Structure formats: structure tokens, C-alpha cells
Chains A and B, each alone.
Chain A
């Protein structure tokens, strides 16, 4: 009976009753929670499809296969969620730095003591066959720390010292992760620029970064001469459209030289800086057909699997490429192939739409936070999930190089699932209590 007033007055409830789980449940963003469970559930079914073998049909719940294990991780995630929601939401802000520090320590410890697995020293063996990848946890920890820091300084980020501090907070974890030889996970931290952009970072960084990435990929795909001619024409066109640019003639020249210099340094970067396996990933992006049985295998097979799905897909457990192991890493990094093959363009587009809904919803949640901390954290969550989505789906359809990062909530794996669960549900906990926050 006492429920209704609380619902109506969700924002004016007394401090005593705020802590009750009832109020928590009322204030939780159920749309996001629903999308979360939808993704986790669909992911689980597709993991089963990915490991499904018609010769040896194993129950979806069996612990012998990834889908059974994933169910355990999902169960553990539920416990995690419970803990995350029950814990005082203020903890996340108050303990942001200690959490960040702990994770940095953990990353360093891992770097020192971890045994290399496939060349990467990023797994911490907890015994009993359970392994943890601290790099996964670094995402939410960095998001918390960066949000806390942004919330504590003046909104005008003109202070160079503060900007450097923020950059340090953001770049320290990926640096250690690169040392662990987990370049893919390190790249994710680039996503933070989206959140910082919202908080006032100059759009120039976003534009320069995006342009640089575009030029990098274009250089690989288009002959250099065409690219230089194209860029020169583009700049000339811009000058013609806006004669004021003429006044900045010197800047234009410098810009042109920078771009051309970059075009010529791409080869050097790819051939001399990158490690051989990374070079192959670049080559696979440009022309997977050059070596379809070697470095092009993953991309070629992934595109074949997705492309063979057609509009409607082949049906659940009917994918031949999926069933017969043509696509590697099918339940983890290449899980999207299963969707593409068995559920076709329709299923793929529905999945993309679910991610879009989730991302838009998270931005919506972020924007309704009263504190900068809450808002920034919300944008960090959206950016991280988006970046994973961008690279993971992009690589399966040949638009991004093969980088071993999972599809959020979908891919098989405990570390990944928990890390995203923590990331998302901290936001949900903060959001559920947003009425207690005062506008600063």
C-alpha cells in the first residue's frame, strides 16, 4: 500500500526510505536493464549456436561447452549486480581513485607475474582454473577516476595542468596494457575522447583524430598519388568556398605537409613499427584475398559466414560455416558471424538496433545526471561500449582491422561479461540515486 506515494514522489522521498531496495527497484532504469538482459540472453543463445556441433549435440546448459559456462558467468553477474546495487552509490565516487589505484597495481602485478598466453601477459591465474584479465577491469576503474577528476575541477578545461592530469589518468592503464601485449584492449581507451568532448574538450582533437584514422585507412586502400591529389583538391575547394582561408595560407601549407607526411609515413609505420601479427591484421583489412588461408583467413571466413546469411538467415543452429568451424574464435571475438549467418540481415540489423537503443539510452541517462561525475561516467560507459561495438562488428565485416576485443554482453567470457556488467550497473546505481545529488 505504501508503494504508490514512493512511486509518485520518487524524487522527494526521505533519506531513510531511500536506502530500501524497493526504492532502488523503482528508480532503476528498467529500459537499460531490459536491454542488458536481452543482449546477454541473445548472446548466450548465439554462443550455443557457435559451439554447436551436429555430431555431438550437447545440452545448452552443459558445462562442457561455452554456453554452459557462460550461464555460470551470467549467474555470477546477477550476484555482482545485486552487490553493485546494494552498495552505497556514493562509494563509486568516493572510492574512484582507490579503485583506480588498485587496478593499476593489479595491472602492474599482472605484467610481472603473468605467464604469457598466446604472447600476451595479461591473464592473472587465480587458481582452480579461474583466470582474470585485469585489463578488462581497468575500463570501469579509469572511467570512474576520469569522471571523478572531471567532477572535481573547473568545467573550463583551459588549465593545462589539469588537462595533463586527465591525460595521465586516461593513458596510464593502456600504456601498461600495451606492455602486456594486449594492444586491442589498450585501443579501447581512445573511446574516452568522446566523453571528454562532451565535457568541453576541443572538438579539434576529435576531428584531427578522426581525420588521422580516416587518412590512415585510406592510405592503405587507395594509391598514394590519388590520395594526395584528392586532398589537395579538397583543400583548394575549401579555400574557394571560403576565401578567408587564404589568410591562413601558412596554416594550410603546414596542414598539407602534415597530411602528405602522414601518408608517406604509414608504410614505414606498418612495416617497421608494428609487430608482424599486427602487420598481418592490417594486410588482412586491405586485401584478405591475398592470403585467404593465412592472415586473410579470419576476415575472409567471417565475411563468408555473414554474407551467406542472406536476408532472413539460415535459422538457429543451421549455419554451416558456424557449425563446421570455418570461423575461428566464433564464440568470443567473432560471435557476430553467428548472428549474421543464422539470422541474416534482419537479425544483424535488429542486434545493431538494440545496441543503438542501449547507447542512446545511456546518453539519455547521462544527460539527466545532476553531477558532472555521473554524467561523465555515463558518457564513458556509452563510449566504451560503442568503441567495442565499432571495432568488433567492424572487423567481422571487413571495415576494421582484426583486433581481439569482444562484443559487449554478447561474447563468451567471464572477464568481459563482468567488466561490462560492472561498468553498466555502476551507472544504473548512480542513476537510481540521482535525485539525491545536488547540482553543483
Chain B
């Protein structure tokens, strides 16, 4: 009997053993192991990213260029989508059955329990329609976010666009903090100023139940951070001038760049043909992008900064004149015979007895002779070495005028162009195998030269400023600072003394007053325009027309470069466009309607 009674201790021992075992196990999972606490947080606490309002972009007069508009994505959580009336969904979204099935498959492949976009970028009307029917489609919900909107269909190339961040960018340490599905600037100002425009994100911790339905904020929002809206940008663009320029260039191919010389601010930036920036915001973004990418006019080619392989033509004579003056090769009064010895002059003009006349008549032999004297200054007895040394010295000065290097505009993918260098010819012909007769076409802006339209406009700003430039830029103020980025407030001086500009400018004034640039003449309005026409040789087809100018002559307000592809002489197409735009900018009106009509007629494209 007694031995059985002792069994009560065994039984009580078993009870206590299990109780102690449970208490220990609980101590482990509740106190020691913290992974369950994290799991509970991931379970019940949803991190909601608060997307900041992307910064807006205004023109220089406060007109809105880029705004934010709401778009709606139809999201799906496959786990919760039960008994979906697929046919009705097809009707609602106006999609074929196959497409809807494919979207379901994709959503499930992404995640069974996580939401993903079933249909992106519903229009406001589609949204309203679907919203009413959504109650019959469990697992579907609408996610509102903002997309870029453009009050005017202008300036697409400069503004750029935003799109979903690419997988490659996500892997790039430069983009840490971005998450899949985030929108990011892909080109233009949107890309260049991404860090200012995007603002900073906030995080909200929401408590959710097992079905992911929000149940209020976690700890009354003690851990939440607010999103900070991106900074608004003020562009230097004058929207009126921009739109007028696009109006004039519509149907043509080419570039127009206008700069305020004193500040380097870009007033107009046209790459023709252009496109409506809103093509890249809707749900057909991919389709539209491919269409533009593959079209024969190379619409997406950002001409003002990327068209760098075309030689500048006669406008380069202005730079040649400045270098020659600086090096004492010529004086303003120097004359050369228009002997047409090696290089022809098509203009059939009086003898260029001084520099201004040479410029006015764009006399090829004059600049040929000046350039020979510039390059072959007798630095070496060996003519090859002499040419090489001379070219190197010349190049240094040309580069100081912003040619042959990236100016550093606040747009991506700027090209630097080409300025002939001794090394380049050494590679082509071999060291000491080339001399002046090899390179003489540089004298008139042909040959191994490539200048972007932006560099041309910048060169005009140098002329207008008589010796320096401020790097051209699109954004004149970040936020309310009133200042651009610091590099856009520095003056860059050329190697040419200030006093040498006036004689060249005189020639430019003459070009417009009574030379090839007469189509840009605004003397009737009391505005002296200083300009230079040019024709860039085009081995592939009809030559490109160039006209560069600044105005007024004293205290200049605008420097402009117009480049019209396949339009022949600059005088016929580029000069009128420049003249009209200068007038528009300086007087806010256009008096020369016949000229405008001529430009719009595009007749210049047919003139041989």
C-alpha cells in the first residue's frame, strides 16, 4: 500500500516537470528570442511610405512648366481575390480576356499575398467608373499617386521625364533608398535635379489586421516621420520665347538656343522635331517612347547639346579673328587680298581691306591667310613642328571660348564637340607628317571641328560679354534660394583681351546691317543686332544653316544660335528665325509678320 502512495510524488513530479518545462520554453520564446517580436511587427505593423510631392518647375516668369497630377493604379492582392467575375472585369477595363488572365498570372507570380499593380495609370474617368464597381471585386483596390503633368506641351527635351526606377539603378549604390516601383528622373532636368525635386520620404507605421486592413497608427504615430516635399525649381526659360521658337521651328529639324549673356541663363532651348512631354506620363509611355526612339527624324536626339559632329562653318571665323587679334597676327585694320589662291570665296565681294569687312563678307581667303600666319609663327624652323606648335597654341585659345569641351550645362548627356588638335593629326597622318596645307579648312570653320548649338550660343554670350561667359544653365533658382547651383555663378574668361572684341562685333553688326544677316535686322525698332551667318557642310545631304547673334549691341540681353538642318544658307532660314526670336524677346511682340510667314512656309527648305 505505502509503495503505491509514494506514486503520488511521481505524478505530482510529472505535473511540475511539465509546468516548469512550459515556463522555460515560454521564457525562451518571450524573453530570449526577439525574432517573434519582429515577426509580430511585420505582421501587424505596415510601413507606409509617404511619398513627397515632387518639386514643381516654373519658367523665369513664374509660369508653371511641370506640375503633379494624380494618377490611379488598380492594385490586386491575389489571395483576397475570390470568385472574380473576369468577364465583367474585362468590360470595366476594356481589355481582352487573355490580357486580364495574363495580368492575374503576373500578379500571382509577383506575390500571392502582397499587392501589385494590376493595371497602371487609370485616367480620372476610368478611375471614377471602376471605383463604383470595386466593391464587387474583393482583393482589388485603388492606389493613388502623382504623375507629372505639363500645362504646356513645350520644352520636352530639356524637362526630361520620370519613370519607374530600373533594376540596374536599384543595384547601383548611388540610388540607395529607392525601392522597386519608385519613380525617378530619367532625363533632362528631372534627372539632373533629381535630388532636389524628389524631396524626402516619410514613413508611417500603421497597424493592420490579418487581412491587411488598417487599424490606426502605431503608438499614436510616435515613430512616424513626415515627408518633405521636393524643392520647386525656377527655370531660366522664358516660356513665351520658348513657345514662339517652337512655333517657328515646327516642322523643321535643328536647334535653337538663346542665352542671357550676363547670367548664362538659357532663355529658350529647342530641339526640333519636338514632342509633347505628356506622352511619357500616361499608360502608353512604353509605346510612345519606342515610337519616338525609332522614328527617322531622331526626335529623342537632344540636338542642342548632342549634335556635336557638325562643323560650325563661317561663324567660326569670329573665333579665328579673335585669336588672330590676340596674337597680333592682324589688327582691326589689317587687310588681305581676296586672292582665292587656295581657298575659294563664293561671295564675290569687294576686297576685305579691314577685319570688319572680312567678317561682313565672310571672306574665306582672308581667314585662310590669317590662320596661316597664326599657326605658322616660326616657332620652329621645321614647318611641321611649327604648325604643330602653332595649332596647339591656337587650340588653347579656342578651348577658352567654350569649344571642344563640355560646358557643364545642367542637362545630362552633353557632348563636348571636336576641336582639331596636334595629337589628332598625328594620329591621322603621323607625327611631323602634316602641316598647314593639311589643316587649312579649319580657318573657315570646316574640317576637324564639331560644335554644338549650345556652344555656339555660348560663344555669342562671350561676344556679348566681351570676353567671358557663365556656364549656360536651365535652372536659375533652386527652391526659394534665388540662386542656381554655385557653378552657374562663376565667370569664365577667355584668353582674348576685352579690347579685341569690339572690332569683331563691328563686323557682326555690319553682317546684320548690310551683309548676309539682313534677315535678322531690327534697326527699324532701334535694336542693333550683331550676328553671323554660316553654312555647315553636310556630306550626307543638303548643308545645314547656321546663324548666331546677340542683341542689342550695347548692354546685350540675348545671345542666340539657330541651327536648321538641311536648310542651306544660314541667311535664308536661320537668320530670320533668330531675328524674329530676338524681337519677340526684346519687345514682346513681332512686327515683321511677312518674315514670320516666310519662315513658317518652310520655303527655305526647298531653296537650292
Interface residues of A (CB under 8 A from B): 54-55, 155, 194, 197-200, 293, 301, 303-311, 320-321, 323-326, 340-341, 344-345, 348-349, 352-353, 355-356, 359-360, 363, 366-367, 379, 382, 386, 389-390, 393-394, 397-399
Main SS at interface, chain B: helix
Closest CB in chain A relative to B202 CB, distance in Å: 22
User: Is B305's CB within 8 Å of the partner chain A?
Assistant: no
CA distance in complex: A345, B40 (Å):
16
Closest CB in chain A relative to B153 CB, distance in Å: 48
Q: Are A305 and B23 in touch, CB under 8 angstroms?
A: no
Q: Are A356 and B19 in touch, CB under 8 angstroms?
A: yes
Q: How many residues does chain B have at the interface if contact means C-beta atoms less than 8 Å apart? A: 41
Q: Which of B4, B18, B19, B27 sits near A200, CB closer than 8 Å?
A: B4
User: Is B8's CB within 8 Å of the partner chain A?
Assistant: yes
Q: Are B26 and A321 in touch, CB under 8 angstroms?
A: no
Q: Which residue of B lies closest to A389 (CB)?
A: B18
Q: Which of A310, A323, A356, A367 sits near B16, CB closer than 8 Å?
A: A356
Q: Which residue of A lies closest to B218 (CB)?
A: A320
Closest CB in chain B relative to A159 CB, distance in Å: 17
Q: Which of B4, B10, B31, B208 sits near A311, CB closer than 8 Å?
A: B31
CA distance in complex: A382, B7 (Å):
14
Q: Chain B 1-43 against A: per-residue CB contact (8 Å), 1 yes, 0 no?
A: 1001101101110111011011101110111010111011101
Q: Which residue of B lies closest to A311 (CB)?
A: B31
Q: Are A352 and B14 in touch, CB under 8 angstroms?
A: no
- Chain A residues whose CB sits within 8 angstroms of the CB of B207 once the complex forms: 320, 324
Give 5 new A-B contacts, CB below 8 A, not counting A198-B7, A304-B39. Answer: A55-B215, A301-B43, A321-B44, A324-B207, A345-B30
Q: Which of B1, B15, B31, B215 sits near A54, CB closer than 8 Å?
A: B215
Scan residues 174-224 of chain B and give those whose CB is less than 8 A from a CB of chain A.
Answer: 207-211, 215-216
Q: Chain B 521-552 against A: per-residue CB contact (8 Å), 1 yes, 0 no?
A: 00000000000000000000000000000000
Q: Which residue of B lies closest to A355 (CB)?
A: B19
Show 14 A/B contacts (Cβ-Cβ < 8 Å), sorted by A: A55-B215, A155-B1, A303-B36, A309-B30, A311-B30, A321-B43, A324-B210, A325-B211, A348-B23, A352-B22, A360-B15, A360-B16, A367-B8, A397-B29
Q: Are B7 and A197 in touch, CB under 8 angstroms?
A: yes
Q: Are B26 and A198 in touch, CB under 8 angstroms?
A: no
CA distance in complex: A379, B4 (Å):
13
User: Is B113's CB within 8 Å of the partner chain A?
Assistant: yes
Q: Are A304 and B40 in touch, CB under 8 angstroms?
A: yes
User: Is B464's CB within 8 Å of the partner chain A?
Assistant: no
Given contacts A55-B215, A320-B45, A393-B22, A198 and B11 within 8 Å (CB-CB) = yes
Closest CB in chain A relative to B248 CB, distance in Å: 63
Interface centre among A198, A199, A320, A344 (most CB of B within 10 A): A320
- Chain B residues whose CB sits within 8 angstroms of the CB of A366 once the complex forms: 8
CA distance in complex: A323, B208 (Å):
10
- Chain B residues whose CB sits within 8 angstroms of the CB of A355 once the complex forms: 19
Closest CB in chain A relative to B103 CB, distance in Å: 22
CA distance in complex: A310, B38 (Å):
12
Given contacts A307-B40, A379-B11, A397-B26, A326 and B210 within 8 Å (CB-CB) = yes
Q: Are B27 and A345 in touch, CB under 8 angstroms?
A: yes
Interface residues of B (CB under 8 A from A): 1, 4-5, 7-8, 10-12, 14-16, 18-19, 21-23, 25-27, 29-31, 33, 35-37, 39-41, 43-45, 112-113, 207-211, 215-216
Q: Are B29 and A325 in touch, CB under 8 angstroms?
A: no
- Chain A residues whose CB sits within 8 angstroms of the CB of B208 once the complex forms: 324
Q: Are A324 and B44 in touch, CB under 8 angstroms?
A: yes
Main SS at interface, chain A: helix
- Chain B residues whose CB sits within 8 angstroms of the CB of A305 once the complex forms: 40
Q: Are A325 and B8 in touch, CB under 8 angstroms?
A: no
Q: Are B210 and A325 in touch, CB under 8 angstroms?
A: yes
Q: Are A363 and B30 in touch, CB under 8 angstroms?
A: no
Closest CB in chain B relative to A203 CB, distance in Å: 8
Closest CB in chain A relative to B110 CB, distance in Å: 16
Closest CB in chain B relative to A396 CB, distance in Å: 10
- Chain B residues whose CB sits within 8 angstroms of the CB of A54 once the complex forms: 215-216
Q: Are B12 and A363 in touch, CB under 8 angstroms?
A: yes
Q: Which of A197, A308, A309, A399 sits near B11, CB closer than 8 Å?
A: A197
- Chain A residues whose CB sits within 8 angstroms of the CB of B14 once the complex forms: 194, 386
Closest CB in chain A relative to B8 CB, distance in Å: 6
Q: Are B36 and A307 in touch, CB under 8 angstroms?
A: yes
Q: Which residue of B lies closest to A300 (CB)?
A: B39
Q: Which of A55, A293, A321 sits near B40, CB closer than 8 Å?
A: A321
Q: Are A345 and B31 in touch, CB under 8 angstroms?
A: yes
CA distance in complex: A15, B36 (Å):
60
Closest CB in chain B relative to A52 CB, distance in Å: 12
Q: Are B12 and A307 in touch, CB under 8 angstroms?
A: no
- Chain B residues whose CB sits within 8 angstroms of the CB of A311 once the complex forms: 30-31
CA distance in complex: A155, B7 (Å):
15
Closest CB in chain B relative to A273 CB, distance in Å: 27
Q: Which residue of A lies closest to B39 (CB)?
A: A304
CA distance in complex: A345, B23 (Å):
8
- Chain A residues whose CB sits within 8 angstroms of the CB of B35 once the complex forms: 307
Q: Are B37 and A308 in touch, CB under 8 angstroms?
A: yes
- Chain B residues whose CB sits within 8 angstroms of the CB of A352 once the complex forms: 19, 22-23, 26
Closest CB in chain B relative to A321 CB, distance in Å: 6
Given contacts A306-B36, A363-B11, A324 and B209 within 8 Å (CB-CB) = yes
Q: Are A194 and B40 in touch, CB under 8 angstroms?
A: no
CA distance in complex: A398, B36 (Å):
13
Q: Are B40 and A390 in touch, CB under 8 angstroms?
A: no
Q: Which residue of A lies closest to B41 (CB)?
A: A308
- Chain B residues whose CB sits within 8 angstroms of the CB of A341 once the complex forms: 40
CA distance in complex: A307, B35 (Å):
8
CA distance in complex: A340, B26 (Å):
8
Given contacts A324-B209, A344-B30, A356-B16, A198 and B25 within 8 Å (CB-CB) = no
CA distance in complex: A366, B12 (Å):
12
- Chain A residues whose CB sits within 8 angstroms of the CB of B33 once the complex forms: 307
Interface centre among B5, B43, B45, B113 (most CB of A within 10 A): B43
- Chain A residues whose CB sits within 8 angstroms of the CB of B8 once the complex forms: 198, 363, 366-367
CA distance in complex: A301, B39 (Å):
9
CA distance in complex: A379, B22 (Å):
22
Q: Which of B15, B43, B113, B211 sits near A356, CB closer than 8 Å?
A: B15
CA distance in complex: A415, B273 (Å):
82
- Chain A residues whose CB sits within 8 angstroms of the CB of B45 once the complex forms: 320
Q: Are A307 and B16 in touch, CB under 8 angstroms?
A: no
CA distance in complex: A17, B26 (Å):
50
- Chain A residues whose CB sits within 8 angstroms of the CB of B7 once the complex forms: 197-198
Given contacts A304-B39, A308-B37, A349 and B23 within 8 Å (CB-CB) = yes
Given contacts A197-B7, A304-B36, A320 and B26 within 8 Å (CB-CB) = no
CA distance in complex: A323, B18 (Å):
29
- Chain B residues whose CB sits within 8 angstroms of the CB of A55 once the complex forms: 215
- Chain B residues whose CB sits within 8 angstroms of the CB of A308 once the complex forms: 36-37, 39-41
- Chain A residues whose CB sits within 8 angstroms of the CB of B25 once the complex forms: 397, 399
CA distance in complex: A155, B29 (Å):
45
- Chain A residues whose CB sits within 8 angstroms of the CB of B18 once the complex forms: 386, 389-390
Q: Are A320 and B19 in touch, CB under 8 angstroms?
A: no
CA distance in complex: A340, B113 (Å):
27
- Chain A residues whose CB sits within 8 angstroms of the CB of B37 once the complex forms: 307-308, 310
- Chain B residues whose CB sits within 8 angstroms of the CB of A393 once the complex forms: 22
- Chain B residues whose CB sits within 8 angstroms of the CB of A348 once the complex forms: 23, 26, 30
Q: Are B12 and A360 in touch, CB under 8 angstroms?
A: yes
Q: Are A323 and B215 in touch, CB under 8 angstroms?
A: yes
- Chain B residues whose CB sits within 8 angstroms of the CB of A307 once the complex forms: 29-30, 33, 35-37, 39-40
- Chain B residues whose CB sits within 8 angstroms of the CB of A398 once the complex forms: 29
Q: Which of A363, A382, A394 sits near B22, CB closer than 8 Å?
A: A394
CA distance in complex: A367, B12 (Å):
12
- Chain B residues whose CB sits within 8 angstroms of the CB of A303 once the complex forms: 29, 36
- Chain A residues whose CB sits within 8 angstroms of the CB of B44 once the complex forms: 320-321, 324, 326
Which 10 A-B residue pairings sit nearest by Cβ, starting from the closest? Answer: A307-B36, A308-B40, A324-B209, A320-B44, A307-B29, A345-B30, A325-B210, A356-B19, A304-B39, A359-B15
CA distance in complex: A303, B12 (Å):
28
